[in-house]
């Protein structure tokens, strides 16, 4: 890789628990991975895997991609971020985002209202709180009175925003330290990059299946795509990217309760655009297409279903491999 280039990995891995991930995480720096990024949906939380990785792989940068802004109070979010920043000074990046109604409301009894404003307000609060300031402020979506971290981190973490469309992308460029996106093709990166400018770090999780069995990969990938691209924010994202007509039959079938019909309605070319697959060399070349088109930090998420076990895929996908 070129000096300064980034190549990330998602933890924990799909085929093992967090407790069983230590040895593979320890390998990552030696393989050439520069980053590890967690996620937070309905499995592990976003912070504990990084706390462990801070000890298991002390060379890598750690990031959340992402923790929702509406499932924790602002103060608790600041405390969690400060803890990671203290464990890994200068190596932790806090990724936050609006998330979705299902995660915020149905699973966490929160309120998914004014997602853009809530994300913006949380970003502004965290900037002050993580710098050690005492915060008493009425934001548009919440109010904080007299919050001050007991122990502010010596090096406040960078904060990046989950952003899918122009308004949030521009907020990320203007007020945050980067943008995180998801489920896009190498060609789509150009459109996203145009919204954030040349200097903003752009991060994306890329789902990768090391397999030459195209039919098997597409069958598994369709389930993943349907579960995401029927969510309103992702549907709107792909409408903006130009896939609205291609995805409409899938979305209509899903809304009617026809799950199998929805899966069949996803065109092969959409699957191949959004999921990286093939042998390891083909996958690495595809990831580099994303980078060539303006992605700063690819974060690989090897998915099961291929002929190659996850642990071997992690090794084979390393940037230093021939």
**What's the pLDDT at 2?**
58
| Across 182-193, average pLDDT | 98
pLDDT grade, residue 298 (50/70/90)?
A: very high
- CB contact set of 242 (below 8 Å; sequence gap of 6+): none
100 touches 112 (CB < 8 A): yes
Tens digits of residue pLDDT in 166-176:
999 999 999 99
Q: DSSP letters along 67-87, please?
A: EESSSS-HHHHHHHHHHHHHH
What pLDDT does residue 4 have?
65
pLDDT (tens digit per residue) in 118-129: 999 999 999 999
Model's pTM, two decimal places? Answer: 0.96
pLDDT at residue 1 above 60? no
Tens digit of pLDDT for each residue in 119-161? 999 999 999 999 999 999 999 999 999 999 999 999 999 999 9
Confidence of residue 305 (pLDDT cuts 50, 70, 90): confident
Q: For the purposes of burial, counting CB atoms within 10 Å of the CB of 315, is it exposed (0-12), middle (13-18) or buried (19 or more)?
A: middle
- Give residue-wise pLDDT tens across range 211-236: 999 999 999 999 999 999 999 999 99
Neighbours of 73 (CB within 10 A): 12
pLDDT tens sequence across 108-118:
999 999 999 99
Whole-number percent of the chain with pLDDT over 70: 98
pLDDT (average), residues 252-272: 97
What is the residue-averaged pLDDT of the chain? 96
Length of the chain: 322
**pLDDT given at position 322:** 47
Q: Sorting pLDDT into bands at 50, 70 and 90, what band is 321?
A: low
Q: 227 exposed, middle or buried (CB, 10 Å; 0-12, 13-18, 19+)? A: exposed
């Amino acid at each position: 890789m070129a000096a300064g280039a980034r190549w990330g990995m998602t933890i924990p891995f799909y085929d093992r628990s967090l407790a069983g991930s230590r040895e593979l995480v320890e390998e990552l720096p030696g393989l050439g991975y520069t980053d590890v990024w967690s996620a937070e949906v309905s499995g592990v939380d976003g912070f504990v895997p990084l706390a462990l990785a801070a000890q298991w792989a002390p060379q890598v940068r750690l990031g959340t991609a992402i923790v929702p802004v509406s499932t924790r109070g602002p103060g608790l979010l600041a405390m969690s971020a400060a803890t990671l920043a203290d464990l890994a000074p200068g190596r932790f990046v806090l990724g936050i985002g609006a998330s979705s109604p299902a995660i915020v409301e149905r699973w966490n009894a929160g309120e998914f209202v004014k997602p853009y404003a809530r994300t913006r307000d949380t970003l502004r609060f965290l900037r002050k709180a993580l710098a050690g300031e005492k915060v008493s402020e009425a934001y548009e979506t919440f109010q904080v009175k007299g919050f001050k971290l007991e122990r502010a981190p010596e090096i406040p973490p960078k904060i990046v925003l989950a952003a899918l469309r122009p308004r949030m992308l521009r907020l990320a460029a203007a007020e945050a330290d980067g943008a995180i996106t998801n489920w896009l093709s190498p060609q789509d990166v150009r459109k996203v990059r145009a919204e954030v400018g040349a200097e903003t770090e752009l991060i994306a999780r890329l789902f990768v299946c090391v397999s030459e069995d195209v039919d098997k990969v597409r069958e598994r990938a369709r389930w993943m795509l349907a579960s995401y691209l029927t969510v309103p924010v992702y549907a709107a994202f792909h409408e903006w990217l130009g896939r609205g007509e291609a995805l409409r039959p899938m979305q209509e079938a899903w809304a009617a309760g026809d799950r199998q019909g929805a899966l069949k309605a996803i065109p092969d070319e959409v699957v191949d655009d959004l999921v990286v697959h093939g042998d390891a060399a083909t996958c690495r070349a595809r990831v580099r297409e994303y980078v060539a088109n303006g992605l700063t930090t690819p974060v690989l998420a090897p998915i099961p279903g291929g002929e190659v076990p996850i642990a071997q895929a992690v090794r084979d996908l390393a940037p230093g491999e021939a």
